[in-house]
Amino acid sequence: MPSLILSTPGTSASLIGERIRVEPGRSNGDDPQPARDIHLFDIEQVVVSASAQISMAAIAELLRREIPVIITSWNDDVIGICQPPAPNNVARLAQYKRTDDRQFALALAINWVEAKILNSRRVLQRLASNRDDVDVTPQILALGELAQHCRRATSADTLRGYEGTAAGRYFETYGSFYPETAPFERRSRRPPHNAPNAILSYAYTLLAAEAECIIHTCGLDATVGFFHEPADRRPSLALDIMEPFRAPLADAMALDLISHGTLHPQHHFEPRNGGIYLNSEGKKRFFVAYEKRMEREFTSEQTQKRTTIRGELKNQVIAVKKAVLDGEPFEPFIMN
């Protein structure tokens, strides 16, 4: 169990020796569930909703063991991340200096955007392989050309233009795979306007938070990126690194959950403040699927070794650090 998820309102967690005792809250009037003890050795990170509780003793012990605690709000935003102090300043100082190297920053950005487009194209190819009623050939060709254009980009603004064009083509086709009972319509973010977008937004938020935790552990600054512009409360480097993972993880998972009825628009979502969000039961089902995808083993396209998406996310952060410190070539995550 790499992630301990505390999302049901009223759930509480406390420290018992070397274990976290979780006492579930009641959901939809169900009978109370028995408490469960989870050994700290089995936890890689904790995600806790503001409607749940975790004791200070538990947080302190988690931090001693360098296990981050991600706190989310009622509308699925990340309120904050509890982590121990950064391990060193050498890598961060090098990172800050590298941001003034435009060629270095552009080279990283090209890798991320090209990989994002190629992985989006691969997701469409896989989806189309099981459907005879959707022709994705024009979009596949267009995305391939846009990925090639990235290599010739001379500025971050030009690269953003290619990324935006690719995203428009991709989501138009991606949305056509959703069933009529849960139409995608278009990408909507703040707030998400329908069930598919609610899943996408929540998955992107968690993925960014995981990347931010790994970046901090590796000694880099998650707020200083090379492609995303810096802004208050924006983890720019985490957003950079997660770009190639969006389609293989979040997009593919959202469509799978809706298409197979694991999440139903009428039963597992609720309207709040002008948007549509996962309800308590929906989050439980979401997290089961999210963890399975993050921990599912596959053979890396680059190394030919067995790995997971969570493992590749860590490898990408380490690769960026090596590029920053030692100038080593950076290779982005490419979906098989």
Dump pLDDT digits (tens) for 250-266.
999 999 999 999 999 99
pLDDT digits (tens, 9 = 90+) for 176-204: 999 988 888 888 878 899 999 999 999 99
- Asked whether 11 and 24 are in contact (CB, 8 A), the reply is yes
Residue 30: the pLDDT is 61
| DSSP strand pairing (12-16 vs 53-54) | parallel
In the predicted model, residues of the chain with pLDDT beneath 50 are none
The domain spans of the chain are: 3-82, 90-326
User: What's the confidence (pLDDT) of residue 231?
Assistant: 85
- Cβ proximity of 301 and 334 under 8 Å: yes
Element (H, E) at 12: strand 12-16
CATH fold for domain 90-326: Four Helix Bundle (Hemerythrin (Met), subunit A) (1.20.120)
Picking from 191, 139, 186, 183, the residue whose alpha carbon sits closest to that of residue 165 is 139
Spatial separation of the C-alpha atoms in residues 62 and 86, rounded to whole Å: 15
pLDDT at 31: 64
Q: What is the pLDDT of residue 157?
A: 94
Q: What is the pLDDT of residue 17?
A: 92
Topology of domain 3-82, per CATH? Ribosomal Protein L15; Chain: K; domain 2 (3.100.10)
What confidence score (pLDDT) does residue 27 get? 56
Distances (CA, A) of 12 to 6, 55, 158, 234: 8, 8, 49, 29
Supply the pLDDT for residue 32: 67
In percent, the amount of the chain with pLDDT more than 90 equals 71
